Structure 1
Amino acid sequence: MTWTDDDPGQGEPPAILGLAKLRTARAQEIRRAQDTLTTASGDAGVGWQAQSQTAFAAEVQKTAGDVELLAVGMEKQAAVLTQYAGQLSQLKDRQRILEQRRASAKSSLARANAMMPGGLFSEPTPAPFVLAGEEDSTAEAKAEEEARQRAAAESKIAAAQADLRAIESEWDALVADRRRVDQSCSTALEAADILGAVSSFSGSAVSAASPGDLLDRLSVLSAIDLQVLLAAHPELAEKLQAASTQDVATWWNALDAEHQQTFIVGLPNIIGSLNGVSALGRVAANRINAANRLEAIERTLADWKRQAAQPGSFTNATSQISALEDEIKYLRGAVSEPPTVQLYLYDKDADRIIEMIGTPSPETKRVVTYTPGTLANLDGFYSGDTQSIADWLHKRDEDGMVAFVVKDGRYPQNPLTEANDQQYARGIAQNLADFEEVAFTDPLLEGRQSVAIGHSWGVANITVSEALGAHYDKVVSLSGAGAPADWTPSPTTEYRDFSYDDILQFAQDIRVGEHGAVWSGRNPREVGFAHEDYYDAPLTWKSFPGNGLVNPLLAAAGGIESHNLAASTAPGNLTLLNDMRDFINEAGAPR
């Protein structure tokens, strides 16, 4: 707890007692839950098969010791906090008394200083009636009176100063006692009988250890220990995220399945986004994270709906309610059995999402990375539109394919500015390059053929990621926007463009001075992507009824529609889709 030498009694004992009571209540809840599980494990019940019941009982028995330690630890924490609250109350009383004494001594000192001869409160010596010849004796009397006043004032000043010195000495003792009480409380809360194996992870130990050392040391903890440790040291998350991808991959792949599950359950927030953890491990952790988020946002949704339904309510949260309902529906797919959504990464606040389609296995031969284009947002994932191409390919897979649909960061929302800004693209593309490196540390994906597919701005994202060091065996452009100035085709990568003569192709033909209006004229079809003729869209601005005599806005709308068609599974896009699939399935050198 933060405090200063000027305020050593800082803190709220009632709040600390509240924390103690909360831990006592939690310990009781844990014991009641454990009793319920134990009862269930001893009763086969209707419909139980012997093997299932035995496995369940074994699992309960395995965790019973950890659960009891957690309950005991919480009760001991409550006792320590209760004692600390009492000690802090005594310190606050001492501080209050010392402050009162200090104020009184300072007041006495001020009065004593004022009583010095010539001071504000010194007693004036009246001028007596003096006869001729008596001047000398009168002067002596006045001097004697002033000396008396000075001696009295000096005595009072000395006494007040002595009081202040004594008070400061007691104040120093109070400060020392606060340090001792805090240290005693901290030591007690981190004791082995409270934290168990976690007791060796002090704040200084976490801070001093390298990420790699921490990973090795954490391997001896149970799932419950890991949860307790993270609650006590939230800085652990940032520390582990700093570990190198290769170090994490080496550590994770060396763990057996049971230890991996321990980390998934104990640290799901960390494991779900930790580069180097296998795809299946991250998805399993994010399933837990999705369940936790679901619980929180369902409460928020209920609160909003309740407020909006109150008579006379001025709450207008229609759009927020609709957005939450869409997210809830999506996340329920992640926690369903079997799951219909597999989240490799999900951080809504940072606008980061990667969804995995398919299941990595020894039979996996190809990894597809699909990245959407301009205006891509989380709503597209919630509706399923963004995943449609990857899902279409996976359902028709014959050779073992896993697909990742990647929107790692805020994609450009303005086609005229952000989507044409090469510097803006570098930040998002770095995330894509990092993902490409991370994904192939997974033993079930390592060495497999890598195919990147981008729609519109998504192709710029891919080519910029290549300029930043990423490598793909094949790159597919679906009406791609462009490539950066420092990009050149890799000699070990096959590039192919599949496009309609749409609004983007028209914009790419526009020249501004020596450069094109879109990505400086670096159209994928002109800088290294093989291609055939444009596909014929069912409706384009060139085939729009009226032969161009209609409203040009309607014609432009046809151009936009054909541009978006390339990223859809609509029947009108079937020819393009099949050609793209044939290109992807053509034999090619793996990574």
Structure 2
Amino acid sequence: MNFDTRVADRLIGACRDAARALQDQRGGRESVSTAACAEFRGVFADCFRENVAAERAARSELAHMLDDVARQVQKAKSAAEVEQRRLSELTAWVLAAGWASAGSGVAVDVEPRPSTEETDRPSVNADTARQGLRAWASGSTAGASSADPATLDSAVSTFRIQDDTARSAADGVGAAASEFERECSWAHSDLDAVGSGLRRFLEDNQQDATRLSDIASMFRAAGGSGHVGQVTVSNDVLVLATVPASLSNAALLSYLSTATPADIKALATLTGWQQTLQRMDPSTIGAWWAGMNTGAGTAADVAGVSQRQELLLAAAPAMFGALDGMPALARVRANQLNAPSLLRAAEKDLETALKLSGTGQARHDPNRTEILQNAVAYLKQVEAGDVQLYLYDRDRSRIVEMIGTPEPDTRHVITYVPGTFTGMNSFYTGGVQQVSKYLRRQAPGTVAFVYKDGRFPGEEDTAGGPNMGRIGEANDQDLARASGQQLASFESGMRTDPYLNGAEQTGIGHSWGLTNVTSSEVAGARYDKVISLAGAGMLPDWEPQPTTEYSNLYYYDVLIHGQGVTNPFTNRGVVWDGNNPIHRDEFDQNYYRGPDDDELDGAINSVEEGNILMDNHSLIATDSEDNMKALEKMLRTVTR
């Protein structure tokens, strides 16, 4: 027979130990729960009290189940010992009888034959323990709740310590039960309910501890740091902390529009509501923000932002600073509020880079140090309000700088996309903002967005020179298509701004930037005017829009030179298969001579001539006096 009494003893001991542990914890749990309830008021306090009662009942049920299993195993062990004794006696009798019948000549006293009837095989079963439902939202959540977060935190701490002990005991029971079913199969057993019951109990306890901790965090955040005493918050913010999925989009927006300052402080510790906003349509976000009550007064020194809106921006500046549908000024303000955090991160990275430089480590890149120094200087300007960021994510190479101020009389909106090799450092040093700043100065009522959302072809992470080995990325259709979809999404979100959506929209692209602009047209974006500054090319399925005016401004440069080269296998141009602005009749062509063009003899067979072509390619995107004719043409195009 398969029954190991030592294994049975281990299961008996594990069940009794676990039952004792559960019972011993009752006093401590009752004490901290009572203390937590003393100043806990509102619908969530009612839920907590119900859960305390459900936990108490489940604990008793499980302790009873464990004791019952131990008793059943003890009975099974006793039955197994009886059967083992019977089998031993029967075996001994058979041997003795066999010896006697063999005529060994030795006198053998054979006892009467032991019973051949098997002992009834016992059953060891566990019924599923009854456990009440633990819920953290029931009925109406209107109104407010109050609590002392310190007493809630104390309860959470005790719950978790006790559950760690109970979990260890439960693991012991589970292991012993599995061993019993394997090594004591003579007894019929079904102990699945033991493991499942304990798991359910501990999972419910963990949820209670997590939810109560979230609620405590909300009260603490609303009241400030340290010991804050009793704090009151709306039930809506507690819903967001515990069961955010139960709040609809409309309910969330309605709540945010009327949230108290204490609630908004508490929101800063949560992310669930931010993720919900990020999934909403930009037009919904724009309408919600515009319709928010601004009667409470304007935040100090922040035009167009109410006090409640300012508190919301401060609660989640990184999220609001990248949220499509938010008005441009609100996004700029959010990124300004987020600038100190961004600045600390950049300064920390710079400190590490300088240490590497100081120790002479081979992996140190001086160009990395330079770009971090430039980032720090740039972010200080953002913090001071001298630079307006519509979007910023250094690690993902996302940056959109806004030049100008959206106002009721805004007439021209420019989206300017720089070209190949553009990195974050190009923004930090002011190189890619020159054209937009010129147009803003010369054309009142103009707002420009200098745009870079993601890595550009050939972009490097340092302040070093361009990576010419990756120049082929500027000819990559998949990259252009994906980047165009991203730019089209930006355009859709930006144009929800009431100051910007009625203005004339112009897309300007330098080099590969023109590819990005025209790819956004493929993705559905529409512009009144598109200006190519030595533009690279277009996707094969790009088509000019009948209501869009297209212009191409260029010098004889390295890209124009490349656009004249034919692929011998396809008989098309090597740059975008010849689908370039310079070769399309839809573009009004505007050619200018560079300051050093007299030194070009047409062959381009020297380093000096190559450098002139490179300089000409950059010149079209600058505010240099040498580029003034092109700049004046851009200005006339934008403003006419």
TM-score normalised to structure 2 length: 0.65
CA deviation after TM superposition for structure 1 residue 254, in Å: 0.8
Structure 1 gaps of 5+ residues are: 1-6, 14-19, 21-68
SS of residue in 2 equivalent to 1:418: helix
CA 1:162–1:171: 2 relative to 1, 3 Å: farther
TM-score normalised to structure 1 length: 0.70
**How far apart, in 2, do the equivalents of 1:107 and 1:555 lie?**
98
CA contact (8 A) 1:249 1:278 kept: yes
Match of residue 241 from structure 1: 278
**How far apart, in 2, do the equivalents of 1:416 and 1:518 lie?**
11
CA 1:376–1:114: 2 relative to 1, 3 Å: farther
Q: Please state if 1:520 is matched with 2:572.
A: no
Match of residue 323 from structure 2: 274
CA contact (8 A) 1:109 1:157 kept: no
**How far apart, in 2, do the equivalents of 1:485 and 1:110 lie?**
85
Counterpart amino acid of residue 543 in structure 1:
E
Please list the CA deviations of residues 167-197 of structure 1 after superposition, one character each: whole Å capped at 9, or x if unmatched: 9877666445435534544554548867544
**How far apart, in 1, do the equivalents of 2:326 and 2:257 lie?**
14
**How far apart, in 2, do the equivalents of 1:123 and 1:282 lie?**
92
CA 1:112–1:357: 2 relative to 1, 3 Å: farther
**How far apart, in 1, do the equivalents of 2:633 and 2:204 lie?**
75
CA contact (8 A) 1:287 1:334 kept: yes
SS of residue in 1 equivalent to 2:527: coil
**How far apart, in 1, do the equivalents of 2:631 and 2:309 lie?**
39
CA deviation after TM superposition for structure 1 residue 124, in Å: 9.3
Among candidates 406, 413, 426, match of residue 360 of structure 1: 406
**How far apart, in 2, do the equivalents of 1:229 and 1:210 lie?**
17
CA contact (8 A) 2:442 2:635 kept: no
CA deviation after TM superposition for structure 1 residue 287, in Å: 1.0
CA 1:465–1:218: 2 relative to 1, 3 Å: same
CA 1:134–1:518: 2 relative to 1, 3 Å: closer
Of structures 1 and 2, the one with the larger relative CO (CA 8 A, separation 6+) is 2
Counterpart amino acid of residue 275 in structure 1:
D
CA contact (8 A) 1:367 1:402 kept: yes
CA contact (8 A) 1:504 1:563 kept: yes
Match of residue 216 from structure 1: 254
Pairs within 5 Å for 1:168-567: 174-175=198-199, 177-186=201-210, 188-189=212-213, 190=215, 196-202=234-240, 206-229=244-267, 231-232=269-270, 234-255=271-292, 256=294, 257-302=306-351, 305=354, 316=364, 318-336=366-384, 339-394=385-440, 396-413=441-458, 416-512=471-567, 513-532=570-589, 534-540=591-597, 543-544=599-600, 547=601, 552-567=606-621
* % identical equivalent positions: 30
Please list the CA deviations of residues 418-462 of structure 1 after superposition, one character each: whole Å capped at 9, or x if unmatched: 211223201111121122222222111121121211100111111
CA contact (8 A) 2:122 2:188 kept: no
Counterpart amino acid of residue 144 in structure 1:
P
Q: Please state if 1:573 is matched with 2:627.
A: yes
CA contact (8 A) 2:240 2:273 kept: no
CA 1:156–1:320: 2 relative to 1, 3 Å: same
CA contact (8 A) 1:450 1:474 kept: yes
Q: How many residues align?
A: 499
Match of residue 60 from structure 1: none
Please list the CA deviations of residues 246-265 of structure 1 after superposition, one character each: whole Å capped at 9, or x if unmatched: 11111111112233223212
SS of residue in 1 equivalent to 2:538: coil
CA contact (8 A) 1:230 1:237 kept: no
CA 1:550–1:502: 2 relative to 1, 3 Å: closer
SS of residue in 1 equivalent to 2:450: strand
Structure 2 gaps of 5+ residues are: 1-17, 26-31, 33-38, 126-179, 220-230, 295-305, 459-468
Match of residue 29 from structure 1: none
**How far apart, in 1, do the equivalents of 2:330 and 2:311 lie?**
11
Task: Calculate the aligned-residue CA RMSD, in Å.
Answer: 4.9
Please list the CA deviations of residues 316-339 of structure 1 after superposition, one character each: whole Å capped at 9, or x if unmatched: 465544433222221111101xx2
Counterpart amino acid of residue 565 in structure 2:
I
SS of residue in 2 equivalent to 1:330: helix
Match of residue 35 from structure 2: none
CA deviation after TM superposition for structure 1 residue 517, in Å: 1.0
Match of residue 141 from structure 1: 111
Please list the CA deviations of residues 527-580 of structure 1 after superposition, one character each: whole Å capped at 9, or x if unmatched: 24544553111235x724xx4788534432321221111112233222322232
SS of residue in 2 equivalent to 1:346: strand
